[in-house]
Amino acid sequence: MYAEIVAVAVVLFYILGIVSAIDSIINVRTAQGAIAWTISLLTVPYIAVPCYLVFGRKKFDGYLEERKEIEEETRELLRQTSSEVAKYLVATSPTAPMYHALFQLTGIPAAGGSHAELLVDGHATFESILQGLTTAEDYILLESYIIRDDGLGRRVGRILADKARHGVKVHLLYDEIGSRNFHRTGLCKQLSMSGVEVAAFNTTQGRRNRFQLNFRNHRKIIVVDGKTAWVGGHNIGDEYLGLNKRIGPWRDTHICLRGTAVLGVELAFATDWRWATRSVLRITQPGLDYGDHGDDNVLVFPSDPASILEQAGLMFLQLIVAARERIWIASPYFVPDRSIISALQLAALRGVDVRVMIPDRPDGPVVGMANWSFTRDLLPAGVNVYRYQGGFMHQKVLLLDNYLAGVGTANFDNRSFRLNFEITVLVEGERFAAEVAAMLERDLLRSRGVTMEDIEAKPFWFPLAMGAARLFSPVL
C-alpha cells in the first residue's frame, strides 16, 4: 500500500512538473529563466514544483484581476482634485521624451510648484516625520515594509494613537511578510484599540494566490493631511537609527515633499489600501490649496508586479540612457538584469561619469557574491564601482547630470524590477540635485574604489562562487 502511494505521488509530481514547465515557457519573462525552470521541473519535480509555486510567478494575478477597478478609483481621485492641481502639472509630449515615457509607464504626471527636502540618515528623517505627524489635523497615511515594536516604533505609535483618539483618521499599512509578526505585538493591539485602522498588505489573499509569497510591498510612505509626504529607504525600527549593535551604523536617505506632488504619493497609498482592505480610501480634499511651495518639478513613480511592463526597470533604463554628463547610483542590492548592465557600459563608453556605490558589508553572502559578479562586468567599460565602508548602506539614490535626482524604495535588482511594489520620487531642480551630489560625494569619501586587480586577487574558488550567486540573481 505504501509503495502504491509513493508511486502515485511520483506520477502526480511529474504531471504537475510538465504542467508547470508549460506555464513557465509561456509566462516566465526571460529565456534563461524559462530554460532553468523547465529543466528543473522536468527532472526533479518534487523539489521544483513547490519552488515554482512560490518563486516562479512573475505576475501578481490577484491584483491584476482587480487592476481595472483599482485604476478607475484612482482616476476618480484624480478627477476630484483636477481643478486644483491642473495648473501645476508638467505637460507631457514626445518633444520631452523622458517625462513622456515615464508618464506612459506610470500614468502620473510630474507636478511643478513643489519642494523636495533631502533627509540624510535616520535621526534627520524621523525628527522630520515625528514633527510632521504631530501637526496632523485631518488624516495620516502610513505604509511601511517593516514596523517594529521597539523604541522608535513605540514613539511613532504613541503619536498615531493620540491623533486617532482626537479624531484624526489614521490608516496604517504594513507588508505581511516584511512585518510578519507585527499583528501579534502589543504595539499593533494598542494602535487598533486607539482607533487606528491597521491593515496588512496580504499578497496571498484570493483563491489563485495561496502560494504567492514571492511578492512584497516594499513601499515606505507617510502622508499628512495631503500637504506633506515622506518617501525613502527607512522602515520603522531602531536599526534605522543605527541602534542595532549587530548591524552597526545605518546609512540611508529619505525625502520630504510639499506641494502638489504629495497627491501622487497619496494615490500610491490609496491603491495599496484598496487591495489590502477591499475598501476605497476617502481622503482627498477637493478645494485644498496645494499652493506654490517651490521650483522643483517632482514625478512620483510607483511601480508594481501587476503591470504589463516592468516599470521600475524601464524607468531606471530611461534615466541611464538620458545621461549626458554623469549617472551616479547608490543601491544596497545591486543585482541588475542584462539591459541595465549594457546601458551602464554604453554610458561609460560614451564618456558619461558612471559611478555605482554598494555596501562593503552586503546583506547576505549570496547578494555579496552577486555584487562582485556584476562589478566584474562593469569595470572594463570604465564604470567606477565603490564599496561603502561607513556601515551598512541602505539608500536607494540616483543622480542624473546636474538637474535630476531620485530617492525612493526601489533597488537595482530583479526583485524591485519585477516582484515588489515600490515607489521612487524623481526631482528635477538644480538645487536638489546639488544637495544629492554633495551627499553622495561625502559617501564616496567613506568608500573605496574597486579594481579588476581586487577581483583577480581573490581566492581560486571566488569565480565559481560569483557564478553560482549570479544564477540566483532572478530571485535575490
Q: Which residues are catalytic?
A: 218, 220, 225, 394, 396, 401
Count the helix, strand and coil residues of the chain and give each as a percent rounded to the nearest 5.
Answer: 50, 20, 30
Helix axes 262-277, 67-85, angle to 10 degrees: 150
Number of residues that make up the chain: 476
Backbone phi and psi for residue 306, each to the nearest 5 degrees, phi listed first? -95, -5
**CB-based contact 91:333 (threshold 8 Å):** no
As a whole number of angstroms, the distance between CA 122 and CA 240 comes to 6
Backbone phi and psi for residue 156, each to the nearest 5 degrees, phi listed first? -65, -45
**CB-based contact 153:242 (threshold 8 Å):** no
Nearest to 473 by CA among 304, 294, 340, 324: 340
As a whole number of angstroms, the distance between CA 273 and CA 421 comes to 13
Contacts of 408 (CB under 8 A, 6+ apart): 231, 232, 233, 255, 301, 396, 422, 423, 424, 425
